[in-house]
């Protein structure tokens, strides 16, 4: 089977794997819950629910597995070639940067709001240097020792490094030669031994779990081969992270994408705004929960404040999607790898629906 003739095993009529949207929604909500509960445990109090909420951080690992699947799946469907590397990066930048930049502006505004309203921030005005702000444009803050304006941006930096890498390696990973594909996957797995959490290499086993799921979904490998490869990568994940929960969450995500052919309605809709939710929930949560701490609230009212903060974050995410992320998706779709050839017919041509 050639890369040009991939055939997804099960998908919707437009080629979209619907379970992916549900998983995105679950991951975004998990990270949001983690920041609003586990990170506020000194205020909410320690109990079994708070301790369990600590696993919400695994939403980031889930996102990495999803990206490991989604990007090659999209590249294969668009017949990507290395000559189109520049357009691939441009499409990704146009797709992800407008909401990212909007969230930076939101974080700055909320930061100054915190300075004016919270005693705990009175001695820490959010003064940002031009160099720090400029580093955000290339996701370079970590490399230049600058603090992120929004702490969740660290994962976006790793995602962008993954885009840079997958655009270069995809022709090898999608080669007609099984030997080339195997050696490339093994080589990328070995790169995970390179130290440094700020580099994508340490996180590659998670992305590769998504990539071999792409092989399975497009019938490039058998189920037995998929199980063998996924098991091997789980050992690598355990070796790199030394955390069984990371192994379980990443493997469950990959298996769900590989074999589940339906989605959960509310989570699917949440998945649509998941990127916006990931971007805006932290500054909004910090502001609202900081305001709630000005009052002497009972335990029940503190939890009510958490749920109210989640509701406000969801509303803000929906607005971000409607005003910024949705249009950015449209702009990115205008960037095509191959120009459509113009028709020179004298009659009016009615284009067929995709």
HEC states along 269-305? HHHHCHHHHHHHHHHHHHHHHHHHCCCCCCHHHHHHH
pLDDT of residue 126: 60
pLDDT value at 11 more than 90: no
- Phi, psi (5° rounding) for residue 108? -65, -45
pLDDT value at 14 more than 70: no
pLDDT tens for 263-304 read: 888 888 999 999 999 999 999 999 999 999 989 999 999 999
Closest CA to 338 of 122, 87, 62: 87
CA pair distance 186, 260, nearest whole angstrom: 27
Proportion of the chain above pLDDT 90, given as a percent = 76
pLDDT of residue 264: 81
To the nearest 10 degrees (0 to 180), the angle between helices 59-77 and 244-259 is 30
Average pLDDT over residues 301-317: 97
pLDDT of residue 220: 93
pLDDT tens for 114-150 read: 777 665 555 555 668 889 999 999 999 999 999 999 9
pLDDT of residue 123: 53
CA pair distance 219, 173, nearest whole angstrom: 14
Tell me, what DSSP letter sits at residue 17? -
Supply the DSSP string of 87-154, one letter for each residue: HHHHHHHHHHHHHHHHHHHHHHHHHHHHHHH-GGGTT------HHHHHHHTTT-TGGGTPPPSSTTHH
Average pLDDT over residues 237-248: 95
pLDDT-based confidence at 17, cuts 50/70/90? confident
Mean pLDDT of the chain: 89
Give the global pTM.
Answer: 0.90
pLDDT of residue 125: 55
CB atoms within 10 A of CB 191: 15
pLDDT of residue 344: 46
- Do 309 and 284 form a contact (C-beta atoms < 8 A)? yes
Proportion of the chain above pLDDT 70, given as a percent = 88
Angle at 155 between CA 194 and CA 85, to 5 degrees: 75
Tell me, what DSSP letter sits at residue 191? G
pLDDT value at 340 more than 80: no
pLDDT of residue 119: 58
Tokens at residue 140, please? 């370079």
Q: Which residue has the tokens 């192994």?
A: 247
pLDDT value at 15 more than 80: no
Average pLDDT over residues 318-335: 96
Domain ranges of the chain: 15-333
Q: Give the 3-state secondary structure percentages of the chain, helix then strand then coil, rounded to 5.
A: 75, 0, 25
Tell me, what DSSP letter sits at residue 322? I
Average pLDDT over residues 207-231: 96
pLDDT of residue 117: 66
């Amino acid at each position: 089977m050639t890369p040009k003739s991939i055939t997804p095993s099960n998908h919707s009529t437009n080629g979209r794997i619907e379970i992916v949207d549900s998983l995105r929604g679950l991951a975004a909500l998990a990270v949001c819950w983690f920041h609003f509960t586990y990170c506020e445990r000194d205020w909410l109090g320690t109990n079994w629910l708070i301790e369990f909420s600590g696993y919400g951080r695994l939403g980031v690992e889930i996102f990495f597995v999803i990206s490991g699947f989604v990007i090659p799946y999209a590249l294969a469907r668009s017949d990507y070639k290395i000559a189109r590397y520049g357009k691939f990066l441009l499409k990704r930048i146009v797709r992800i940067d407008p909401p990212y930049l909007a969230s930076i502006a939101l974080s700055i505004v909320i930061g100054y709001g915190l300075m004016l309203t919270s005693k705990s921030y009175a001695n820490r005005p959010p003064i940002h240097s031009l160099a720090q702000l400029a580093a955000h444009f290339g996701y370079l803050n970590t490399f230049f020792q600058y603090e992120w304006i929004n702490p969740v941006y660290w994962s976006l930096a790793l995602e962008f490094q993954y885009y840079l890498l997958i655009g270069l390696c995809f022709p090898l990973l999608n080669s007609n030669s099984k030997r080339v594909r195997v050696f490339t996957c093994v080589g990328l797995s070995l790169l995970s031994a390179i130290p440094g959490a700020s580099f994508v290499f340490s996180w590659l086993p998670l992305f590769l779990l998504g990539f071999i799921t792409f092989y399975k979904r497009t019938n490039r490998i058998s189920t037995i081969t998929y199980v063998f490869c996924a098991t091997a990568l789980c050992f690598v994940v355990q070796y790199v992270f030394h955390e069984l929960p990371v192994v379980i969450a990443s493997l469950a995500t990959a298996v769900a994408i590989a074999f589940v052919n339906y989605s959960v309605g509310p989570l699917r809709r949440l998945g649509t705004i998941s990127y916006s939710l990931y971007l805006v929930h932290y500054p909004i949560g910090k502001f609202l929960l900081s305001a709630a701490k000005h009052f002497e609230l009972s335990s029940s009212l503190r939890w009510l404040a958490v749920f109210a903060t989640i509701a406000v974050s969801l509303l803000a995410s929906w607005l971000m999607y409607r005003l910024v992320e949705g249009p950015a998706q449209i702009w990115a779709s205008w960037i095509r790898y191959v120009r459509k050839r113009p028709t020179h017919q004298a009659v009016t041509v009615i284009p067929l629906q995709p």
